[in-house]
Homo-oligomer: A and B are copies of this chain.
Amino acid sequence: MKLTSKGRYAVMALVDLARFDTINPVSLRDISLRQGISLDYLEQIFSKLKKNQIVKSTRGTQGGYILSKKPIEIKLSNILNAVDEKVKTVQCKKESKKGCNGKATKCVTHNLWDELETHINTFFDKKSLQDLLKNNSERVN
């Protein structure tokens, strides 16, 4: 059970954006250099962030991206959903009456994984970009 780079990069990039977009839009090139993330990969990620209205873009010279909301309004869950880093613990379709093994009842572990999913999503719903900004300036190491 692990987090993928796409989700990690998305959050890193948005923290970067939150810090530097106060005056001018921030170019992906800058983020790429500061955070050590491939530019081409960043473009894929930002395309999704834009579709989900988390960032706004300006084209042309001196263009770049800015956040479309205040950092405190952007929850981790928004970001991760946007880049398809969904938390998926149950195997079966939740709405369906069928279990993951194709049987008519949910398997013995279904409720467990469902609880876990809620547990994790609660965590992501509570945390906002703002929390990360704060957290980072507090700790040096």
Contacts and interface: CB of A to CB of B under 8 A. Distances in A.
Nearest to A123: B119
Interface string A89-133: 101000001001111011111011101100110010001000010
A88 B3 contact: yes
Contacts of A105: 140-141
B87 A108 contact: no
A126 to B, nearest CB: 10
A45 interface: no
Interface centre among A4, A8, A101, A102 (most CB of B within 10 A): A8
A36 interface: yes
A59 interface: no
Copies of this chain assembled into the complex: 2
Among A2, A15, A109, chain B packs the most CB atoms within 10 A around the CB of A109
B2 A87 contact: yes
A12 B7 CA distance: 29
A39 B27 CA distance: 53
A110 to B, nearest CB: 9
A21 interface: no
Interface string A1-28: 1111101100110011000000000000
Given A97-B141, A112-B135, 18 more contacts: A1-B4, A1-B85, A1-B88, A2-B87, A3-B89, A3-B116, A8-B109, A8-B113, A12-B109, A15-B108, A15-B109, A16-B108, A36-B101, A36-B102, A108-B132, A109-B132, A119-B120, A120-B120
